[in-house]
Amino acid sequence: MPDPVNSLKDKVVVIGGGAKNLGGLISRDLAANGARAIVVHYNSDATRASAEDTVAAVKSIGADAFAIQGDLTRVSENKRLFSETKNRFGKVDIAVNTTGMVIKKPILECTEEDYDKIFAINSKAAFFFMQEAGRNLEERGKIVTIVSSLLAAYTDSYAIYPGSKAPIEHFTRAASKEWGSRGISVNAIGPGPMETPFFYGQETRESAIYNQNAAALSRWTKTGLTDIADIAPLVRFLVTDGWWITGQCIFANGGYTTR
């Protein structure tokens, strides 16, 4: 018998960046596995169509859904995301944050603007999304944030990307401790380089080929990279039967980096 507390049955899920790529798949996957409702957050106007497609896909699976736009680097937008969810569905059980941005540049080329922009989305937005989740989640809620396997990489040109994701490990530890008495699990997942435009935007042909061959299990995948289809089930596990895992940062990368 599945444990109803740690199943998706009747659960309301907020997904930061839930419209496309990894977030879009997680929206569909949690709906397909029994969630009651999925709130599909998106940021740019260019993503609206993907958000609408995802909402339609979720509804066709049988769950409820709506799309909501917001720049999550603003604290007020995180508050609005969670308050709108509660207005529509009465509660929030699960919060998954997939938002992020990447800049690959040597340190000497990084500008103040690069630094402020990437820390605003990768650190500040992640922190305040988590804070709102902590304020609003039901007892026995679950929180997952997507970080990166580059947290364990020894490489040039990736200073401010993993640097701005690294604080999430500490936010995750503290949040899991602070909200453990309410039965809330908090974790982070670090995928390897994934087959999405996010990855290819930063890489040269040579560095893409390197990454396609860098994981221990690369030759057993379609592209050599991490497949989003191999990350979504891990998110699903952490927000259901995997509830006993908390305060952790788990790499899922086919053996790309390890520590």
Q: Which residues bind ligand NAP (CB under 6 A)?
A: 17, 19-23, 42-44, 47, 71-73, 98-102, 121, 125, 146, 148, 191, 193-194, 196, 198-199
CB neighbours of residue 188 within 10 Å:
27
When the beta carbons of 20 and 28 are compared against ligand NAP, the nearer one is 20
Catalytic residues: 148-149, 161, 165
Q: Cα Rg for the chain, rounded, in angstroms?
A: 17
When the beta carbons of 7 and 223 are compared against ligand NAP, the nearer one is 223
The CB-of-174 to ligand NAP minimum distance in angstroms stands at: 20
93 and 13 Cβ atoms separated by less than 8 Å = yes
Among residues 198, 204, 121, 194, which one has the least CA distance to residue 160? 121
The CB-of-252 to ligand NAP minimum distance in angstroms stands at: 9
When the beta carbons of 7 and 217 are compared against ligand NAP, the nearer one is 217
The CB-of-4 to ligand NAP minimum distance in angstroms stands at: 30
When the beta carbons of 89 and 128 are compared against ligand NAP, the nearer one is 128
The CB-of-94 to ligand NAP minimum distance in angstroms stands at: 17
SS (H, E, C) 105-160: ECHHHCCHHHHHHHHHHHHHHHHHHHHHHHHHEEEEEEEEEECCHHHHCCCCCECH
Name the residue with tokens 């419209």: 19
| Nearest-10 crossing angle of helices 126-136, 167-178 | 10
